[in-house]
Structure 1
Amino acid sequence: MDGAQRRWRPDFEVDLARALGPLLRGGGDPVSAHEPGGVWRVFRTPAGPGTIRITARSADGEVAAAAWGPGADWLLEQLPALLGADDEPERLVLPPGPLREVQRRNPGLRLGRSGLVMDSLVPAVLEQKVTVTEAYRAWRYLLRRFGTPAPGPRPELRVTPSARQWAAVPSWEWHKAGVDPKRAATVLRAVRLAPRLEEASAMSSPAAFERLMTVPGIGVWTAAETLQRSNGDPDAVSVGDYHLANHVGYALTGRARSTDEQMLALLEPYAGQRHRVCQLIRATGTRAPRFGPRLAPNDHRRR
């Protein structure tokens, strides 16, 4: 069970739940698992599949990791970036108020960078225009059906399909997963361009957005959700999100309902750090009041 090992002592407080939480796709996510004080995560790296187990010791601030598979060395090298070592939260200077207090009280709220575009792009596409419940159900079905056992001591976890394996998923399996033809077609277009899309992990924010959005079916929301995770992009705002504009508007103005345009106007003073501001608002627990029914699930498998 030993695997390749690395110990790392960061010069900032590590909060594993917050650092790796954005990579989690709901309870029962086939590529991850939690245990007391640690997290398991499976990635398809440029060197091949890899499983990493990360633990953080609050007593001395040390992070320990073990990794297995062809991608083990790559994952251990990427460990600091994954936990936010490349992030620069000090670039956001807030005026006195609730958000600055949240920033002060949450030093572990840093933006990690996986360096893997397709790892976050495919599940983001599955989340387009559907409820979280539907998207996570589809992700679980597809990974359990077409993923492969993770290297190392947790073979019940799954490695995401390669681009070629995604392209070979039959149309009826997408249907069984509850994925409509439009989202399935977007995934298939993206995986055919996987090498070029992966290059976005090393691009500036505008160039990375432009690269991803050359794929029909990938818009601002999907690109932002991807780059927040793959690049740790502090400015990638999920424009078009069902709830985000209302939550931002309510937190910053007390207005119960806001449009995307109004949200972007409110975030304009924080250009370059707008996603970070959204994360701080999320950390306050502030939520816009609900009016009317929630978005109802739409089971595409019945069609």
Structure 2
Amino acid sequence: MPAARGVPRQAQAPGLVRTYVPEGPLELGLVLGPLRRGPGDPTFRAMPDGSVWRAALTPAGPGTLRVAAAGGAVRGEAWGPGAEWLLERLPGLLGADDDPAVFAPRHRVVARAWHRRPGLRLTRTGLVLESLIPSILEQKVTTDEAYRAWRLLVRKFGEPAPGPAAGGRLWVMPAPRTWALIPSWEWHRAGVDNKRASTILRAVRVAGRMEEAVRMPPAQAQARLELVPGVGPWTSAEVVQRSHGAADAVTVGDLHLPGIVGWALAGDRDADDDAMLELLEPYAGQRHRAARLILLSGTVPARRAPRMPRGDIGRL
């Protein structure tokens, strides 16, 4: 039977399917949201029907995953060489390896957020580079600048995601060798300075060693990542939060997080990393979850200083 008029023939091809039934409440947007790098992320799309599409470069090759929840179950459908790999790890992606029951709120603001968002689970992608590269792009710049760079580089050097891929609007990020061959002027056009570009190049040259970190405990994985010059505790924590679902990998070195945590837990908008870690000590083992709940609470100090100045080296 021919494809329906106006609908790409590719969109009619079914993918592999897996159904997963979570043990408790699950909110897809909360669980998978950290994988989205801005509203225009070419590797991620949240649809009006509540489904989430994700394109990934797996060890088996590129793959596309559509996830939709209905009636207490989650249906995953996947396409491409990486389809089986993605479906095999669907429960982990949706937080099956996470155990929120061990979390005990110690502050009212955290308890309220925990009560209001029972569907929060920590995702575990099982992939390192897909979080490492955009995290490096986010070093010392505004999120808008980092998101723009990720969007431009993925669309120019990545490949269209297999399958229907949310109407053909998804892209798989470049392979390590492709990242390594991006010319210097293309980094410049994307607004990426030489320091961040050089860090990415060093990371992709040891891509295999980076991906090995997913089989290590989070602290050891962070140590492995930080062997790459230019990757520090901020970046490594941002990675293992996603690749490992690391409940205790609190982000240090962030411009805003210490003040937000300090304000929410102690009314101290000037808290630094040391003060933040001290305030989060009652949540040892679950500090990242506590920080996420604080962010979800919306309890933030009023802005009193200009935002980080935006620079665009691609227009110089």
State the TM bucket, normalised to the shorter chain.
over 0.9
Q: Aligned residue for 1:85? A: 96
Deviation per residue, 1:133-182 (Å, 9 max, x gap): 00001011101110111110124311111110100100010000000000
Which stretches of structure 1, 4 residues or longer, exceed 6 Å deviation after superposition? Answer: none
Q: Percent of pairs identical after alignment?
A: 54
Q: Aligned residue for 1:170? A: 183
Q: Aligned residue for 1:219? A: 232
Distance in 1 separating the partners of 2:90 and 2:252:
29
Structure 2: segments with no counterpart, 5+ residues: 1-12
Distance in 2 separating the partners of 1:196 and 1:96:
40
Distance in 1 separating the partners of 2:41 and 2:140:
20
TM-score normalized by the length of structure 2: 0.93
Distance in 1 separating the partners of 2:146 and 2:140:
9
Specify which of 232, 250, 259 is matched with residue 237 of structure 1: 250
1:9 aligns with 2:34: no
Aligned length: 301
Q: Aligned residue for 1:110? A: 121
User: Quick check: 1:257–1:288 contact (8 Å CA) kept in 2?
Assistant: no
Distance in 1 separating the partners of 2:50 and 2:314:
38
User: Quick check: 2:109–2:264 contact (8 Å CA) kept in 1?
Assistant: no
Structure 1: segments with no counterpart, 5+ residues: none
Q: Aligned residue for 1:247? A: 260
Q: How does 1:98-247 map to 2 (within 5 A)?
A: 98-154=109-165, 155-247=168-260
Specify which of 282, 289, 294 is matched with residue 295 of structure 2: 282
Q: Aligned residue for 1:65? A: 76
TM-score normalized by the length of structure 1: 0.97
Instruction: Report the RMSD for the aligned CA atoms in angstroms.
Output: 1.1
- Paired letter, 2:196: R
User: Quick check: 2:76–2:87 contact (8 Å CA) kept in 1?
Assistant: yes
Q: Aligned residue for 1:40? A: 53
SS at match of 2:126: coil
User: Quick check: 2:53–2:67 contact (8 Å CA) kept in 1?
Assistant: yes
Distance in 2 separating the partners of 1:98 and 1:293:
27
SS at match of 2:84: helix
* Greater displacement, 113-122 / 255-264: 255-264
The CA deviation at 1:87 is: 0.2
The CA deviation at 1:52 is: 0.4
- Paired letter, 1:138: A
Distance in 2 separating the partners of 1:64 and 1:37:
12
